[in-house]
Structure 1
Amino acid sequence: MKLRIATFNLENLDDQENQNPSLEKRIKVLRPQLLRLKADVICFQEIQGQETVGEPRDITALKELLKNTPYEDYNMVSTKTQGSDEVYDKRNLVIVSKYSFEGEPVQVKNSLLTPPSYNYVTDTGADADQAKEIKIERPIFYVKIRVNDDTILHVINLHLKSRNASNVTGQKINQFAWRNSSAWAEGYFVSSMKRVAQSIETRMLIDSIFEENPNAKIVVCGDFNAHPKEVPVEAIAGKVANTGNSELNQFEMVACENTIPESSRYTYIYRGQKRLIDHILISKALMPFYRTSEIHNETLEDESVAFALDSKFPESDHAPFIIELELESVE
């Protein structure tokens, strides 16, 4: 039994009236990409929520994209605002699965890790002398998928904090310009804190799953906004090379990208540099079933360069990453 699992950041998928490119134009490009995946499970990032009068905010743009594809009939769950049936207005995490979900999805945000406090140096606000909590902004999304009578797959979908500098009160001239380099550097540092904190909380969630079942089959997918060997990826992987404790070997998470040729090992292009910031990591218990990885980056464009407007490139600025398992190959 082959099982294909993908992660795909769809870059602000929305259906705004005046957006360019329109959702219709985006669907023409994105739908063939989804069909090519032939996935059984897809973890999506950057799915915007749409407003419908009298109804809870919903992910209607994604549902429109999935029409007339096999995924239209898949089971679907999405992140929700606290205590509500509404999705977030921006950057929802969505998981679609050919197989049924076991129990309710779980959102983790600032619940396993106490947010650290930090005194800004360049802040010029009225409360500049007071320490502020550096909270994680985006939830970690966790589901259990019942693949067959014998197999529960634990799937974690992530979108870690971007590499853009966080706001520092009084230090922005406008949306794009900073008053001085020190303020920008501090904002960049704060974003790094948020990204690392989210990766630590993810690792804590992974360890809690292992506490219940040391042989748990875990897949962590998503946009990490971090390169291989950077702290967020290393924190989630939990390598013995870092912990120095061989007793933790079976709890390592293995980066599937390592089986992709280095020349093709990228999901994003920024100012001419090919970067791998989307990842899929699997637990050691899944290694006997792991067969291959693919990154569909043949048509990926560098949207960071001059005149590379979204209107020219209706596709996503991320490439989808997919792995294939063969669950019946091991008794």
Structure 2
Amino acid sequence: MPLRLRIATFNLENLDDEPGKKPTLQERITVMRPQLIRLNADILCLQEVHGQEQPNKPRDLLALKKLLKGTPYQDYYLCSTQTKQKHQVFDKRNLVVLSRFEITEHQQYKHEFAAAPSYRQVTAQPGSEEANEVSWERPILHAKIKLPNAQTLNVINLHLKSKLPSNIPGQKINNFTWKTSTGWAEGFFISSMRRVGQALETRFLIDQLFDEDENALIAVTGDFNAEGDEVPVEAICGAVENTGNPQLASRVLVHCDRSIPKSQRYTLFHHGQGRMLDHVLISRSLMSYYKGAEIHNEILHDESIAFATDKLYPESDHAPLIAEFEI
């Protein structure tokens, strides 16, 4: 019989377990655990999973483990991003891949393929005459998963830099207020550099996988903080219309969400407008098994309202996206 395979991506929005913080982890578990069960995912890619400290032990994903308790995912194979120095999860915003099938290998990449560019800020106060590196915070997580038919599925989990402007010294009054429009614009420009830099590094990895196997099964998932027609997503997809080279057609990645009607195609609300910022992009080899996609966005809140008041809901501000295959 064919193998049914459901790949889901879900930004959990700062999943943590801080004492005294509202909403509490238990309040979040009450509403989010049913969401995860409904996904019925065989492979689940998560973003914004915070790590928790514990006495005399490495930092661990304790909040996530509490969320997964009592669900099928608690017994899945797991890999996550880690610090290079202490080999423990990061304090904030880890990437996690959970898989029903064995994860045979996993790696993370940050400036392995694309060096951090240098840039001299022009609106900083006080000013600087020297250019500094513009590094990005989160690495790429790549997992190789062995499917029951012995094929290898390459899953790449991403969280690209948000559209929030990067900090410019001396240009902010508080967390939400900028002194000048030019300072805000420069902060926005630097965030764009980081987001596109991560996308470039992802494309390097994809082409490396195609160099190893021209028929590689690849799924690139996660929170791209960009719509499908914006530069970071287009850089990762590598459409022939952009490269102008039909010889590269076999290396193009395909949008799974394009199967969903446009009126329902959004994973985030911002100022009353639906935005499609989370994606599952797949290689043509994997496309041959593709059956359809879903977005569970029925109860999605407007994140711009929550941001304006710094109020958080128990639910995430992102909706999960699922792509289904039959192999």
TM-score normalized with structure 2 length? 0.97
2:150 is aligned with 1:147: no
Q: Which residue of 1 aligns with 2:107?
A: 106
2: CA distance, partners of 1:117 / 1:170: 20
**Is the 1:47–1:91 contact (alpha carbons within 8 Å) kept by the matching residues of 2?**
yes
| Equivalent position SS for 2:235 | helix
Give identity over the alignment, percent.
54
Deviation at 1:117, TM superposition (A): 1.1
2: CA distance, partners of 1:156 / 1:323: 14
Deviation at 1:175, TM superposition (A): 1.8
Q: Which amino acid aligns with 1:38?
A: N
**Is the 2:46–2:96 contact (alpha carbons within 8 Å) kept by the matching residues of 1?**
yes
Q: Which residue of 2 aligns with 1:222?
A: 222
Deviation at 1:149, TM superposition (A): 4.1
Q: Which residue of 2 aligns with 1:188?
A: 188
Give the paired residue count: 325
| Equivalent position SS for 2:147 | strand
Q: Runs of 5+ in structure 2 lacking a partner?
A: none
Deviation at 1:65, TM superposition (A): 0.3
1: CA distance, partners of 2:72 / 2:254: 29
Q: Which amino acid aligns with 2:120?
A: N
2:89 is aligned with 1:87: yes
Deviation at 1:173, TM superposition (A): 1.7
Q: Which amino acid aligns with 1:190?
A: I
Q: Structure 1 stretch 128-137 or stretch 211-220: which is displaced more?
A: 128-137
Deviation at 1:312, TM superposition (A): 6.6
Deviation at 1:54, TM superposition (A): 0.8
2:2 is aligned with 1:22: no
**Is the 1:173–1:179 contact (alpha carbons within 8 Å) kept by the matching residues of 2?**
yes
Q: Which amino acid aligns with 2:37?
A: L
**Is the 2:306–2:312 contact (alpha carbons within 8 Å) kept by the matching residues of 1?**
no
**Is the 1:20–1:310 contact (alpha carbons within 8 Å) kept by the matching residues of 2?**
no
Q: Which residue of 2 aligns with 1:68?
A: 70
Tell me: CA distance 1:44–1:175, structure 2 relative to 1, closer, same or farther (3 Å). same
| Equivalent position SS for 2:304 | coil
What's the CA shift string for 1:151-192, capped at 9, x where partnerless?
A: 100000000000000011121222222111101100000000
Q: Which amino acid aligns with 1:15?
A: D
What's the CA shift string for 1:117-139, capped at 9, x where partnerless?
A: 1121111236x110111112210
What's the CA shift string for 1:40-68, capped at 9, x where partnerless?
A: 00000000010111111111000000000
2: CA distance, partners of 1:115 / 1:87: 23
Deviation at 1:304, TM superposition (A): 1.4
Q: Which residue of 1 aligns with 2:122?
A: 121
What's the CA shift string for 1:183-204, capped at 9, x where partnerless?
A: 1100000000000010010000
2:66 is aligned with 1:36: no
2: CA distance, partners of 1:196 / 1:311: 30
**Is the 1:303–1:309 contact (alpha carbons within 8 Å) kept by the matching residues of 2?**
no
1: CA distance, partners of 2:313 / 2:320: 16
Deviation at 1:305, TM superposition (A): 1.9
**Is the 2:157–2:220 contact (alpha carbons within 8 Å) kept by the matching residues of 1?**
yes
Q: Which residue of 1 aligns with 2:178?
A: 178
Deviation at 1:84, TM superposition (A): 2.2
Q: Which amino acid aligns with 1:120?
A: Q
TM-score normalized with structure 1 length? 0.96
Deviation at 1:307, TM superposition (A): 9.0
